[in-house]
Amino acid sequence: MASGPEREEDLTGRAGPTDISDPLIRTEARKAFVWIGMAALLALAVFLSQSLIVIFGGIVFGALIDGGARVIRKVVPLPRGVCVLLVLLLAALFLLWVARFAGSQIAMQAAELPATIESQFRHGLSWLHAHGIQPRITDLRGMAQEAVGGIGQVTRVVGGLIGVVTTLFLILVLGIYFALEPRLYQRGVGWMLPIDRRDHFESTVTIMGQALRRLLFGRLIGMTVEGLFTWGMLQFYGVPMAALLGLITGLLAFLPNIGAPISGMIMILVGFSGGYEMGIYTIIVYVLIHLIDGYLIVPMIARKTVDLPPALVLAAQLIMGVLFGLLGLALADPLVAMIKIWLEREADRNGGGAAPETAADIADSPA
């Protein structure tokens, strides 16, 4: 009978359960493992989707900080960390100024807004009664409940247990880290790719970064122009709550296709509270804002970044809004732009296009 060491030596020389001698079966087994791994990664991505959207929000916020830091570095040659700190300091001072000088006025107007909208709703109901339309109160309540329920579903905040404040704080922290050392994370992701794919990845990420910075810069310009234009035009005619309506219009301008109708509806309701002439004036202001956004700001952004079909952006906003709430609505536009750039780059690479293949070729172009 063989001793222990001899028995172990005999076992080490035998084929194990994972050893496949047939090359064809071994190749097919590897393919099966690859498909299983892809399915597992897809399931993991679905499971971690809320965390991934928060990370993408951090990337978008980091690109916004990075764009501001690049502008400062073009004016004053300071270290990157100092420029990032200056951007954050200027943003904090601006928010402090808004809260200090306009906060009380906007807060008072915000308290008056629900009563004004309710009053206009009653006027509309009286107008319907005067023209022979008799909607029942129960029907209106049912419609209101359905609308509120739909809005609650669309605007569900990411990570219900985490909360809005925690989510925004995570995005803020991630964005600062990404903005301080973007190359560190870019090289880390590229290191995990095959060597023959790294140059293409570097150039693609560089193009995505430039497009994202320009897209966000264009959005900020649009928000500022539309907000100030709305406030100035409404204040000129004496429309109530002009400052609040300007702020709402500017903030909602970040959401293309969806933000403008919402802000316009609120503006028109407030306008008709001051009479038909004021209501017609607010409609004219809304049309002018829509023309500025549709024929000046959006084409300018598309020419400098990625020309996105409006229907595609709207569909992405609806899907992202249902899945991730307000954060999904805000990030739908940048996400669609990044996906389109990636698909175009892959098509150029596979089809032998003339797209640059190294990050050095792109770095010379303006950011």
Q: Which amino acid is at 281?
A: Y
What letters, b where the CB count within 10 A reaches 16 and e where it falls short, cover 326-354? bbbbbbbbbbbbbebbeeebeebeeeeee
pLDDT at 154: 38
Residue 219 lies in a domain: yes
Cβ contacts of 43-50, under 8 Å, gap ≥ 24: 49/323, 49/324, 50/158, 50/159, 50/324
Q: DSSP string spanning 184-243?
A: HHHHHHHHTS-HHHHHHHHHHHHHHHHHHHHHHHHHHHHHHHHHHHHHHHHHHHT-TTHH
223: nearest Cα among 292, 157, 319: 292
Residue 80 lies in a domain: no
Q: What is the largest CA-CA distance in the chain?
A: 108
Helix 326-351 to helix 310-324 angle, to the nearest 10 degrees? 130
Q: Which amino acid is at 1?
A: M
Residues of the chain under the 50 pLDDT cut: 6-8, 11-12, 140-141, 143-162, 354-366
Residue 79 lies in a domain: no
- Separation of alpha carbons 126 and 277, rounded Å: 19
Q: What is the total count of domains within the chain?
A: 1
Strand locations in the chain (E): none
Residue 178 lies in a domain: no
Residue 215 lies in a domain: yes
- Separation of alpha carbons 221 and 93, rounded Å: 19
Residue 153 lies in a domain: yes
Please provide the size of the chain in residues: 367
Residue 339 lies in a domain: yes
**Quick one: tokens of 263?**
């802000």
- Separation of alpha carbons 153 and 174, rounded Å: 27
What is the span of the domain harbouring residue 283?
Answer: 106-160+196-363
**Quick one: tokens of 220?**
């900020």
Model pTM score:
0.69
Residue 341: strand, helix, or coil: helix
**Quick one: tokens of 214?**
């320009």
pLDDT at 78: 85
- Separation of alpha carbons 307 and 6, rounded Å: 72
**Quick one: tokens of 335?**
């996400």
**Quick one: tokens of 305?**
């970044």
Residue 37 lies in a domain: no
pLDDT at 150: 40
